[in-house]
Structure 1
Amino acid sequence: MMQFIIFFIWLAGNVRLVLNSPTLGSKDNPRVLSKDIVCGGFEYPVHQNHSVFFYHEDSGEMYIGATDFVLKLDVEGFHIMENFSLKAPGQQHCEEGRCENVITVIEKFQDSLFVCGTNGNKPQCWKLFPSVNNQSLEIVESYEGMGISPFVYTHNVISLSVEGDLYSAAPLDTDGSSLQFRRKAGSRTNVWMYDNWISEPTFISATWVERREEPDNEKIYIFFREKNSDHNPEADPWISRVARVCKVDEGGSKRFFQNIWTSFLKARLVCGFPEKSLYFNHLRDIYVVQGEDWVDTTVYGLFTSSWNATAVCTYTIGKIEDVFENSTFKGYNKDIPNPRPGTCVKNSRNLPLTTVNMVKDYPEMTDWVQSMHQTAPFYVSSNNYTKIAVDRVRAADGRMHNILLLATDSGKIHKVLEDGAEPFIISETQLSSRSTVQSMKLDSKKRKLVVGFSEKILIIDLQRCQEYNQSCADCILARDPYCVWTELGCTPTVTGGIQNILDGNRSVCHPSDEEQKQINRTKRETGSLSTVDLRTTYSVPLGVPFYLSCPIDSYHAVYTWEHTGQGSPCLQMQSNCLHLIPAMTQENYGGYECVSKERDYTKVVKTYQLKQQTIQVTTRDTERDNNHITINYASAGVLQITLIPLTLAVTVSAIFR
């Protein structure tokens, strides 16, 4: 009875850990909980409330902006190449926090690094150039930053640099109002939006889609959510949108719409289950994967819903353009003027008044932009995702595969394969248990993901294949495009390696001698345990509580413990499967195998042999200690015991009898 009481208390104290782990055998969970894939890190001296990342693909340079400084980061070797101070003037003479210069914008603009910040509630921008010796940055020019950087870092801001022009959205007022999308600086005319076009917007992202054969027809696409004009209590308070403006738009004539976009159009971005009228209307983040042909450029939208679920929907620029080019205009039932509103023309100042007036009064499309999967989102999850990035990976067979990298609000990164009819969650990596992800930037060339938290920056190596290195089958079942099976084990993808990304069927493997032993072992006809050469042996006394443990290699597998022809389920404890024995009896001795089964692949993960051993139980018969018993026995699988007072044990046993 005493051993049972202690065992029960120990088990109850660990139930919370069991519930926090992914459920075994479920494809809706990550297959692997990744470890040791962080290849570098930087601890901030002081926690940061806000950070912004900028990655320049051509040069491979990564810049990180935080409070009062900009870092230049070497992603490959992970070290800080430069720390450039950008403090607001007169910081020592003002109230705490009021004079901080929180960096909110970093862009490659014209021939310099263009950096903007709150500058003590007086937004300012700086052009940073390499110094003469090219070892550091120095300020050459500074500009007023109103309309590019917000006054405070908590206000909405986006920016985009396109062919020497800077586009931005930031409030013009200290209260966060007068927020709209503008072309703010560069060689072209500064233009902005008409006030009635949007209502209380939150801008998410802006992107330029290049058309090499028709550059005058290139568009800037803006993704945002805005307040719903439908005040019905059942209507969602927010609507997700995509809008577009022409790159060559110079605004209207001097007498009408001067410095106002003449090509602005917007449409509703739909993500959900149309047949059930269930929609994810809260756009959270956007990632754009440029296609070889502009129509194939893919937009990945991250949405949340009112019922605490998150979804990923995908769209193509071709389908978005189809809505803008062919839909009717919401609320307008007359003949559409020529040229059609939203058409890109070389001289927008010469557009007919009828065309510009339609843009002014009817900028919204009647048709909605549907996702590529139409009837349902590509991926729906109960995880609260906050950031998304998408990497395109060329597999060993030359095919391209998309990998979604999703950040949760609990400091985790999920790696999700987009291939076939359903998403496949490859892995989960816990990076921080203290804070959520502030910023995330993908370096596709180096296969690294840079992740920023309030306390640190971490770099994830996306092609750490050692986790699947036990066998060819383990490597193939991972369905990880970054990894292939070779003579050297599971390694970063190379031509000629073994992969099966589409369905993870392990038939592509050529069984080695050791793998063949495993196959033969799992094909036994009876329930009796086969002879296993490499098994861990423990000598365990009668009557003591004992547990066996084996590591969980895959959360998509189902694990069982086999003993004397009988199977029992494992007790999941974080990343281990346990078999618990409340008190050893004669029937508990013998061989045990921890067996995992994933699809058609069965393997023995761990084997044990338990033998009987006699131990001494010493009762200390003293006036002060006669209520205590100590069992002097220790091994890897025994619950270490210093017994509680017998009076307490009686009470506990009465409660749980």
Structure 2
Amino acid sequence: MRRIVFIPIWFACFLRVLGVGVKDIPIFGSTDNPRILTNDVISDGFQYQVNQTHSVFLYLEDSEEMYVGGTDFVLKIDVDSYHVIEEFSLTTTEQQCEEGPCQNVITVIEKFQDSLFVCGTNGQKPLCWKLFSPVNNQSHEIIEGTGISPFMHTQNSLYLSVEGDLYSAAPLDTDGSSLQFRRKAGSRTNVWMYDKWVSEPTFISASWVKRKEDPDNDKIYIFFREKNTDNDPEADPWISKVARVCKVDEGGSKRFFQNMWTSFLKARLVCGFPEESLYFNRLQEVHVMHAEDWRDTRVYALFSSSWNSTAVCIYSVGMIEEIFENSTFKGYDKDVPKPRPGMCVKNSRSLPLATVSVVKDYPEMTDWVHSIHYTSPFYVSSNNYTKIAVDRVQAADQSMHNILLLSTDTGRIHKVLEVGSKPFIISQTQLSSHSTVQSMKIDSKRKKLVVGFSEKISTIDLQGCQDYGNTCEDCVLARDPYCSWTKFGCTRTVLGGIQSITDQDIRVCIKSVKEPLNLSVIPAPVDLRTVHSVPLDVPFYLSCPINSYHAVYTWKHGNQSCPCLQMQSNCLHLISAMTQENYGNYECISTERNYTKAMKKYQLTEQKVKETQNSSSHNKINAASAFVPQIWFNLGLAIAVICFGPRCP
């Protein structure tokens, strides 16, 4: 029998404890939430002396150092100790600044040719510096930076270094206009775009995809969104696109399309539900995961929508190339000339006029690029994700798994397992309580994530397994390929460790009993039972911790069961006024998949309160105050709790 019991108003404040809003509290029992929450803000890392409005960093996996660029400076930092090894001061002078803030906000840090290449806004007169190591005779070389760095850090820009050539997209005018993707510097010819190819673009990312067996067919892929030409008021103002150019492209002949890309093609990038014509059109961030076979290179794209949801769609470069190589050209109805427009040729200046003319006037493909899951995004969330990084992890059985790392606009990082066509949200880590992520890089070798905020740079150890509990079942249910169960507990993955990444099957833990545990590193079992002596007629509550937000929690009392009330990371059972039938034993039971365990046990006994005729009411009030936190009297709400059994105990 189901019964609704109304809890008095002073029990309602579990909705608002310590100033945390209801929307910040995930509801347990749903796999749409992170399974594990680490709510304590990670405080280690490098702290800026002054908060930065914009920061970038260069993190090289084969080096022990990283470079950080802020306002008027570049720092060389040891990645392990966060000790500043070297500092470069790159300030502007008042004479250089005609208007606006006289600051040099660093926007580009890249290894380019034989130096560290740095560009900044330089008081709205962009400059670049080649910074040489101390062993060189010269300390730096200054280069004009227009077209590489934006005039203001808030303007759209991107850059990419490929085999000694620098590709960039940055405005040519102070108002942010004349924005296009160019090969700007290096050994090859400078090449740029035709103005009519894109409409008010926002460039997101560029990536070089190698073809080891055919380097002349190497391509640069550009991901961006542009203004929608559909004037329907219900149409999204933005459409996401992918474009590509050939690395060997030197532009057209002297008489036609000189210094213009002859291989530029673009196609619509689709993320959504095609059968319902519902799309996420606003590309926000891209991570390209390269593979041995270029066709298997994956593009993880983060999209937002006009209805406050974000989505991740996954594409393969092979599928993208299929569109560029076989689709018809949008708006073009004549025979396709040979060589096919967009093909890579060693001498682009020798291409026939007919081929280059199609690229000039009809660069867009008719067909759209769909994700590998086609009918829907890989992952849809109400979280406002802003950055994405992806790592490839070898599990204990040597199988490979992809892990998505997504940053929210509230300073959190979600670790998401890609298993088949479905996401599994492993954990949430809180890195900052008051700022959003400015930049994020993955170190696949050290298995660390480096995250930049306005006030600091933080590092997450992706192999941190200590939050998954001290039993094999808890470790296996985490489905974290970075972690496995061994005789040392839940630790970073080793060959032969116990996992069940694909199936989340705790039956694999049966074999763990054959391995003697190293008890010196595993916490001793905790006595779950707590005894309370409580007077009659006073309110009382019981609490147990939530160690997995994918589990369902139930309070058991005798043969009766009642679902718990959630208060942040705790599960409550509320008793409005103690009666004789409320005394006895209580258990907080967690159930996840086929794994059930007691999280907490209580024994409530009756406390005899001495009363006199004049102080009876006074004593009961004091008794109530002793057992109910004062904060519970602060809200004037009534909570309806659905209970099960003949009566909620």
TM-score scaled to structure 2, two decimals?
0.90
Which residue, out of 48, 61, 64, partners 1:44?
Answer: 48
What is the DSSP-based 3-state SS (H/G/I as helix, E as strand, rest coil) of the residue aligned with 1:360?
helix
- Which of 576, 601, 604 does residue 598 from structure 2 map onto? 604
Change (3 A) 1:415 1:96: farther
Post-superposition offset of 1:76? 3.0
Contact 1:157 1:169 in 2 (8 A): yes
Is residue 2:99 matched to residue 1:100?
A: no
Say if 1:8 and 1:371 are closer, same or farther in 2 by CA, change over 3 A.
Answer: closer
> Which amino acid in 2 is paired with 1:565?
N
> Residue 173 of structure 1: SS of its match in structure 2?
coil
Contact persistence 1:75–1:448 (CA under 8 A): no
CA–CA separation in structure 1 for the residues paired with 2:414 and 2:449: 12
1:125 maps onto 2:116 in alignment = no
Q: Does 1:32 align with 2:33?
A: no
Distance across 2 between alignment mates of 1:241 and 1:184: 22
How many Å apart are 1:629 and its aligned residue? 8.7
Q: Cα deviations across residues 465-491 of structure 1 (Å, max 9, x unaligned)?
A: 011132100000100000000000000
Distance change in 2, residues 1:12/1:605 (3 Å) = closer
Letter in 2 for 1:340: R
Structure 1 residues 616 and 77: alpha-carbon distance in aligned structure 2, compared to 1, 3 A threshold: farther
Task: Report what 1:524 is aligned to.
Answer: none
Deviations 1:376-401 (A, max 9, x none): 11111111111100010000111110
Where 1:82 maps in the other structure, the secondary structure is strand
Amino acid at match of 2:506: R
Partner residue, 1:631: 622
Quote the Cα distance in structure 2 between the aligned partners of 1:11 and 1:356. Answer: 67
> What is aligned with 2:563?
569
Deviation at 1:8, TM superposition (A): 4.1
Partners of 1:43 and 1:457 within 8 A in 2: yes
- Do the aligned partners of residues 642 and 379 (structure 1) sit closer, same or farther apart at CA in structure 2, a change above 3 Å counting? closer
Q: CA offset at residue 218 of structure 1?
A: 0.5
Secondary structure, counterpart of 2:286 in structure 1: strand
| Partner deviation per Cα, 1:198-231 (whole Å, 9 max, x = no partner) | 0100000000001111111100110000011221
After superposition, what is the alpha-carbon deviation per residue over 1:167-221, rounded to whole angstroms, capped at 9, x for unaligned? 0000000000000000000001111001011010000000000111111110011
Cα deviation per residue 1:349-401 (whole Å; 9 max; x = unaligned)?
11111111111111111111111001111111111111100010000111110
Residue 573 of structure 1 aligns with an amino acid whose one-letter code is: M
Task: Report the AA paired with residue 243 of structure 2.
Answer: A
Distance 1:17 1:551 in 2: 19
Moved more, 337-346 or 16-25: 16-25
Map residues 226-625 of structure 1 onto 2, 5 A cutoff. 226-510=226-510, 534-615=528-609
Does the 8 A contact of 1:115 with 1:125 survive in 2?
yes
Aligned residues of 2:539 and 2:624 also touching (Cα < 8 A): no
After superposing the two structures, state which structure 1 stretch, 8-17 or 460-469, moved more: 8-17
Change (3 A) 1:550 1:326: same
Q: Distance in 1 between matches of 2:36 and 2:488?
A: 21
C-alpha contact 1:411 1:434 (8 A) present in aligned 2 = yes
1:235 positional shift: 2.3
CA change 1:172–1:416 in 2 (3 A) is same
Tell me by how many angstroms 1:421 deviates: 2.9
**In 2, distance between residues paired with 1:582 and 1:138?**
78
Could you tell me how far 1:62 is from its partner in structure 2?
2.2
Taking a change above 3 Å as real, the CA distance of residues 565 and 175 of structure 1, as seen in their structure-2 partners, is same
The alpha carbon displacement at 1:643 in A equals 12
Secondary structure class of the residue paired with 1:473: helix
Task: Provide the secondary structure at the position in 2 that maps to 1:377.
Answer: coil
Distance in 2 separating the partners of 1:495 and 1:402: 18
Match of 1:7 in 2: 10
Say how many residue pairs are matched. Answer: 621
User: What's the offset of the Cα at 1:503?
Assistant: 1.6
Unaligned runs of 5+ in 2: 1-6, 516-525, 641-649
Distance in 2 (alpha carbons) for counterparts of 1:100 and 1:281 = 35
Return the match for 2:75 from 42, 62, 71: 71
In 2, are the aligned partners of 1:630 and 1:641 still within 8 Å (CA)?
no
Code of the residue aligned with 1:463 in structure 2: it is Q
Asked if 1 retains the 8 angstrom alpha-carbon contact of 2:41 and 2:430, the reply is no
1:370–1:60 Cα change, 3 Å: farther
Deviations 1:579-627 (A, max 9, x none): 1122222222111110000011100011111122234679999xxxx99
Report if the CA contact (8 A) 2:440-2:449 is conserved.
yes
CA distance in 2, matches of 1:196, 1:407: 35
On the 8 A contact 1:25/1:557 being kept in 2, the answer is: yes
3-state DSSP of counterpart to 2:338? coil
For 1:337, give the aligned amino acid. Answer: P
Q: Which residue of 1 aligns with 2:89?
A: 85
CA spacing shift, 1:84–1:616, aligned 2, 3 Å = farther
SS in 2 for 1:232: coil
Q: 1:160 to 1:563 in 2, by over 3 A?
A: same
Q: How far apart, in 2, do the equivalents of 1:346 and 1:576 lie?
A: 65
Asked which structure has the greater RCO (Cα within 8 Å, sep 6+), the reply is 2
- Relative distance call for 1:158 and 1:653 in structure 2 (3 A) is closer
Show CA shifts across 1:531-578 (max 9, x none): x97511122222322211111011110001111221111110000101
Q: In the alignment, residue 92 of structure 2 is paired with which amino acid?
A: A
CA contact under 8 A between 1:208 and 1:219: conserved in structure 2?
A: yes
Looking at structure 1, the residues matched to 190 and 131 of structure 2 have their Cα atoms a distance apart, in angstroms, of 22
The change in CA–CA distance for 1:10 and 1:323 in structure 2 (over 3 A counts) is: closer
Residue in structure 1 matched with residue 520 of structure 2 by the alignment: none
- Residues 385, 640 of structure 1: alpha-carbon distance in 2 compared, 3 angstrom cutoff: closer
Query: 1:266, 1:363 within 8 Å by CA — same for their partners in 2?
Result: yes
- Residues 607-616 or 248-257, more deviating: 607-616
Q: Distance in 2 between matches of 1:302 and 1:471?
A: 35
Distance in 1 of aligned mates of 2:156 and 2:483: 39
Deviations 1:481-520 (A, max 9, x none): 00000000000010110011002111100277899xxxxx
Kindly provide the amino acid, as one letter, of the partner of residue 467 in structure 2: E
Q: CA-to-partner distance for each residue in 1:82-126, whole Å, 9 max, x for gaps? A: 3322112338x9699621111111111001110100011110001
Change (3 A) 1:468 1:240: same
Among 58, 63, 66, the residue aligned to 2:62: 58
